[in-house]
Structure 1
Amino acid sequence: MRTIRILCSTLVCLFLVGLVSTVAAQVNPKNLKKHIQFLASDKMKGRETGRPGSHKAADYVEKHFKKYGLIPKGEQGYRQTFEAKIRRVKLADSIRQSDNIIGFLDNKSQYTIVVGAHYDHLGYAEIGGSRDSLGVGKLHNGADDNASGVAGLLELARHYATNKEKETFNILFIGFGAEELGLVGSRYFTEHPTIPLSAIHWMLNMDMIGRYQEQNGLAVIGYGTSSAFPKIFQGLKSTIKFNLSRDGNGGSDQTSFYRKNIPVLFFHTGGHEDYHKSTDDEPKIDYKALEAILRLEIEVIDQSMKQDKMDFQWTN
């Protein structure tokens, strides 16, 4: 994630908390831990765009999309390749190659829900972005930002691909590259979509969902981008607190879709002292809360499938 937004920064913000509702969500905490431990391990070298660690992360997402039987929906198999430019600092190799990894669950519907998360991070912070004044040269593993979101992406893909149900909407799962360089991967996809943008029901983005804080709760940003969201959230409860914020903009990949008149939701557990620092490591992830967040997301997705094609609303 590139910037931190205040959890309730827009005109309307609702605070909801309650008991867990009944949902047959197949969320496996062991899978979440396995994914984050791999993606945020030292051997991934911080998943810097254009470097081997980022390519390994892309391979990891692709491997699981294949495992779950998702249909390749990139431009070359699961891959949508593009170039991204480093702009924060001057480097000799400022042009980097990256990939969006795109898998499709085809339920033979006219419309499709997009679920996304970015897999890149800062590496050794030589590309800029570290909030540690002495951070350059230190390994930034990015466990929360955004190994947590990728773990959620893979677990939602597994749930919907293996639940033996045929949903009423298709689902397109995307691992975005080069988000840390300016939302480059998601912007590239919305400029070169592999499905018609007009066929997208709405887009769900996960970025930094691993460090839940009780005092703040989970931010669900984008509530105002469709008149359908109040109906979707009506009666939904969770074991964690969550705030509904209207704005569709923000420092992550849902913004690229919002700017194309597509309803969006951005799930985010907020800023913390380790954001964009070398201390954002896997042992600090709150797996119990992460599981609850994914269960809530499954409920939201399932409820959205009971709606007609969702309308779009500008929030600013």
Structure 2
Amino acid sequence: MNRTVFYLLLILFISCKQEPPKKVSLKDDVSFLAADSLLGRETGTAQELMAAGYLQKRMEKIGLQPKGNASTYFQTYSFKPKTDPHSEVQYISGDSTITGTNVIGHIDNQAGKTVIIGAHYDHLGMGGQGSLYADGEAIHNGADDNASGVALMLQLAEKLKDTLVGSNYLFIAFSGEEMGLLGSNYFSKNPTIDLAMANYMINMDMVGRLREEKTLSISGTGTAPIWNQVLNSTNPGFKLVLSESGVGPSDHTSFYLQNIPALHFFTGQHEDYHKPSDDFEKLNYEGMELIGNYILSIVAELDDKKNLAFRTTKNESEEVPRFKVGLGVMPDYLFDGKGMRIDGITEDRPAFKAGLLKGDIVVQLGDSTVSDMMSYMRALSAFDKGSTAKVVVNRNGEKVEAEVKF
């Protein structure tokens, strides 16, 4: 039997057991996808197939048309895991390969343009590469990363069905993001629609931890000239942190590289990132509703507009310095003040041993002034293992000096 057909039949068999409730909330979707029974939804596992089956049922109930392969909701792809982190993945079938599954639904309004809305549903399984958990194997449920984005995508599908008809809408739950944007990369090169009709892409990855000050990060604002105007005119009160680059560590990158304007919505990293503690009880569901309504207003604003003009952006990832050491902190990527604010500290690492605290703002490292994330990384790149450095932080308005040993 053909390998692809076999996997489609297997997913269909598994999906028969995944029946969502009649009325589904954001919390319902997240709690299913982030349940212990799915063992972290690692790409290529039976548990990822269970999640794919659930997503198929949700798309069916919403009324989305299947837009995968062979008149199904599923687009499968097989690949050989990389041994060299700098090499490109090989999409091939055969022994020692893994099969991932994108889940794709469509609203066909017979329009001349299509909006792509996506979120990855895979996660780290029991840990392994990418995990920040140091105490052995454990289920990484990935509630924020990225059951949150998938749940929001499904809610948007429900709201867009039979409402805005100026565009067609393609909804994609990507597999393989944690292994290197594999599902979105594969779709962008093997699309199930005519990509020439794609107007823009919206990606939601980690949108479940909106903070009290309502800070929302949006990347890709330079990929179309109109983005800043639309984002600001429809903003209901978020504190926006905007980044122009179309290249980043999530699935919007795959579409930007196909010359499609793309945005990535993100509520920031946190201490549970890539750890077993990223559970559904910790998400801000009211905040997710606000973000969903904001995205809906953006889509509505563009519904009767012409196709967006694509624009290339500076690749900020190419400018990131290489460094041999780390402080052992989680930076606050939503901080837009002067310096680098610490959002979390790992025990027994240099920052912890030096007495630095969550909330400290690093303003000097060694002889270098730290004004933002890029200057912090440049300063860090100057040190080797065994080096010592003076670090100055702003702690509640006071300058505190300490010494770190890398």
> TM-score, normalising length from structure 1?
0.85
Aligned to 1:149: 149
- Cα-to-partner distance string for 1:20-55 (whole Å, 9 max, x where unaligned): xxxxxxxxx961000001110111111011112111
Contact 2:164 2:300 in 1 (8 A): no
Gap regions ≥5 residues in structure 2: 1-22, 86-94, 315-406
Task: Give the equivalent residue in structure 1 for 2:170.
Answer: 172
**Alignment partners' CA distance in 1, 2:143 and 2:62:** 24
Query: What's 2:132 paired with?
Result: 131
User: 1:6 — aligned with what?
Assistant: none
Q: Aligned ranges for residues 73-152 of structure 1 at < 5 Å?
A: 73-76=67-70, 77-87=72-82, 95-126=97-128, 128-134=129-135, 136-152=136-152
Which amino acid in 1 is paired with 2:307? Answer: K
| Separation in structure 1 between the aligned mates of residue 194 and residue 114 of structure 2, nearest angstrom | 10
Aligned residue identity for 2:184: S
Could you list the runs of 4 or more consecutive aligned residues of structure 1 that deviate by over 4 angstroms after TM superposition?
none
> Could you report, residue by residue, the CA deviation over 1:153-173 in whole angstroms, capped at 9, with x for unpaired residues?
111111112xx4351000000
Classify 1:178/1:256 alpha carbon distance in 2 versus 1 (closer, same or farther; 3 Å): same
Secondary structure in 1 matching 2:233: coil
- Cα drift, residue 148 of structure 1: 0.3
Partner residue in 1 for 2:159: 159
Q: Secondary structure at the match of 1:244?
A: strand
Q: CA deviation at 1:133?
A: 2.2
**How far off is 1:226 after superposition?**
0.3
Q: Distance in 2 between matches of 1:56 and 1:231?
A: 41
Distance 1:262 1:53 in 2: 32
Cα 1:216–1:132 change in 2 (3 A) is farther
Secondary structure of 2:106 counterpart: strand
TM-score by length of 2: 0.66
Change (3 A) 1:63 1:144: same
Count, aligned residues: 282
Q: Is 1:236 the counterpart of 2:234 in the alignment?
A: yes
SS at the partner of 1:171? strand
User: Structure 2 matches for 1:272-311, cutoff 5 A?
Assistant: 272-311=270-309
CA distance in 2, matches of 1:282, 1:86: 30
| Counterpart-to-counterpart distance in 1, 2:25 and 2:79 | 31
RMSD value over aligned CA atoms?
1.9
Given residue 30 of structure 2, which amino acid in structure 1 is its aligned partner?
Answer: I
Alignment check: 8 A CA contact 1:85 1:181 kept:
no
The verdict on how the C-alpha distance between 1:49 and 1:240 changes in structure 2, with shifts beyond 3 A counting, is same
Contact 1:84 / 1:178 at 8 angstroms: preserved in 2? no
Flag the 1:306–1:249 CA change in 2: closer, same or farther, 3 A. same
What is the rounded CA distance, in whole Å, between the counterparts of 1:42 and 1:69 in structure 2? 29
Partner of 2:398: none
Change (3 A) 1:99 1:220: same
- Kindly indicate whether the alpha-carbon contact (under 8 Å) linking 1:117 and 1:153 is maintained by their aligned counterparts in 2: yes
Show the counterpart of 1:37.
31
- Kept in 2, the 8 Å contact 1:46–1:122? The answer is yes
Q: State the secondary structure of the residue aligned to 1:257.
A: helix
**Percent same amino acid among aligned pairs?**
42
CA distance in 1, matches of 2:117, 2:171: 5
Q: Contact conserved, 1:228 with 1:307, CA < 8 A, in 2?
A: no
| 1:181 counterpart residue number | 179
Q: 1:260 to 1:188 in 2, by over 3 A?
A: same
113 and 265 in structure 1: CA distance in 2 versus 1, 3 angstrom threshold? same
Q: How far apart, in 2, do the equivalents of 1:46 and 1:157 lie?
A: 24
* 2:208–2:285 contact (8 Å) kept in structure 1: yes
